[in-house]
Each structure stands twice: as structure tokens, then as C-alpha cells.
């Protein structure tokens, strides 16, 4: 009998992928990944569900000897990219709408945290989708270059090149904002 999916041991999945267990264990990861890939808050729920529809459809393609999260992130990256393309064709502007939150503690500190989050969001939004996906996978999700290459179907050198370019662009953006 299969138990709950252990997030720290993604290789523990059975040969036949149990989509319900994957959903229960990884829905938060998928949500965060889509958000970090620039999916607007109003579309997160729909795209999260779409990820798991793809997981269900492609369950037979998953190799249980490989980590699950890079595979999931690859699906997220593809769907986020397609979502942006469709929105662009329809002439929509994708903007991040921060969820309403009740401020806790020092209001000035909360305002400063919100400014830093918005600054980071703007800088990530300025990256092209390919660089952004690699940067988020490596720097935010802590994935290895090899796992990213596998998830996105890229040569390892391309992953390193995109990561370097993203870091360079973000560093330049930081310096430019600091000069203002």
C-alpha cells in the first residue's frame, strides 16, 4: 500500500505515477513555481490544475529513477511560456497582483519588504522566459545544473550560459536601480 509521498525522497515514487499523491505532495511547489515564472495571480489556479492534467497525461513518460521536481518544473516552465505567448497574442499585459495581506508588526518594515519583493519581481519579469526559468530553478528551487538540463531538455552548457546571462542582467539591473 502506497503511503504519502515523501518530499525529500522524490525517487520513492512507484513505477506507476500516482497523480493524486503527486498533487497532494507537490501542489504548493507547482503553485510557487508558476508564480515565480511570471504567471499572474489571477491565472495561477487554472495553470496549476493544467500542470496536473499534463502530469496525468504524461505519467507514463516519467522515469521514477529521476527526481520528480525537475520534471514537474519543466512542465510548469512550458505551460508558463505558452500562457505568456497566448496572452501576448491576445494583447493582454500580464501584471502581478499581490495577494491582500494583513500587515503584521512594524508597518514601515512591511512597506520596505513589499518594495523589495516588487523590485525582485520587476527584475525577474525583465528576464526573458528562458533565462528566468533557469535562474528560478537554480537560485530559488536549488536544483542542479544537470537536473535543470534534464527538465528543460537543454545541454548543460546552455543551462550554465543562461544562468550566467541572467545573473549578469540582474546584477546590471541592481546597479542601475542603485544609481537612481
Question: What dihedral angle (degrees, nearest 10) is formed by the CA atoms of 172, 160, 52, 87?
Answer: 40
pLDDT at 3: 42
Q: Is residue 5 part of a domain?
A: no
Domain total of the chain: 1
Q: Is residue 49 part of a domain?
A: yes
Grid cell, residue 152, equals: 528543460
Q: Is residue 71 part of a domain?
A: yes
Q: Is residue 2 part of a domain?
A: no
Judging by beta carbons within 10 Å of its beta carbon (0-12, 13-18, 19+), is residue 176 exposed, middle or buried? Answer: exposed
Task: Give the C-alpha separation, 118 to 116, whole Å.
Answer: 5
109 CB-side CA count, 13 A: 4
Q: Is the dihedral of CA 37, 43, 47, 49 positive or negative?
A: positive
pLDDT at 15: 52
Q: Is residue 35 part of a domain?
A: yes
Q: Is residue 158 part of a domain?
A: yes
Q: Is residue 24 part of a domain?
A: yes
pLDDT at 104: 59
26 contacts: CB under 8 Å, gap ≥ 6: 5, 7, 68, 69, 72
What is the domain range of residue 164?
Answer: 10-98+106-179
Q: Is the dihedral of CA 128, 44, 32, 30 positive or negative?
A: negative
pLDDT at 90: 65
pLDDT at 98: 46
Task: Give the C-alpha separation, 140 to 62, whole Å.
Answer: 23
Q: Is residue 111 part of a domain?
A: yes
**pLDDT string in tens for the chain (180-residue length):** 334 444 444 444 445 688 899 999 999 999 999 998 888 888 999 999 999 999 999 988 888 888 899 999 999 999 998 888 876 666 655 444 444 444 556 788 878 887 888 888 888 888 998 999 999 999 988 899 999 998 888 999 999 999 999 999 999 988 887 777
Kindly report the pTM of this predicted structure: 0.67
What CATH number has the domain bearing residue 163?
1.20.140
Q: How far is CA 6 from its chain centroid?
A: 20
3 CB-side CA count, 13 A: 5
pLDDT at 44: 92
Q: Are 19 and 53 in contact, with CB atoms under 8 Å apart?
A: no
DSSP letter at 4 equals P
Amino acid at each position: 500500500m502506497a503511503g504519502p509521498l515523501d518530499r525529500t525522497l522524490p525517487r520513492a515514487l512507484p513505477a506507476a505515477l500516482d497523480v493524486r499523491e503527486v498533487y497532494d505532495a507537490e501542489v504548493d511547489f507547482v503553485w510557487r513555481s508558476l508564480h515565480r515564472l511570471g504567471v499572474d495571480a489571477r491565472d495561477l489556479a487554472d495553470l496549476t490544475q493544467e500542470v496536473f492534467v499534463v502530469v496525468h497525461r504524461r505519467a507514463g513518460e516519467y522515469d521514477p529513477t529521476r527526481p520528480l521536481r525537475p520534471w514537474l518544473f519543466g512542465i510548469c516552465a512550458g505551460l508558463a511560456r505558452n500562457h505568456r505567448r497566448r496572452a501576448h497574442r491576445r494583447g493582454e499585459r500580464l501584471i502581478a497582483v499581490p495577494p491582500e495581506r494583513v500587515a503584521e508588526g512594524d508597518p514601515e518594515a512591511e512597506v520596505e519588504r513589499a518594495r523589495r519583493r516588487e523590485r525582485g519581481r520587476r527584475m525577474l519579469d525583465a528576464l526573458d522566459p528562458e533565462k528566468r526559468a533557469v535562474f528560478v530553478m537554480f537560485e530559488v528551487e536549488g536544483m542542479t545544473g544537470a537536473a535543470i538540463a534534464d527538465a528543460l531538455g537543454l545541454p548543460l552548457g546552455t543551462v550554465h550560459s543562461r544562468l550566467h546571462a541572467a545573473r549578469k542582467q540582474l546584477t546590471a539591473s541592481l546597479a542601475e536601480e542603485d544609481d537612481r
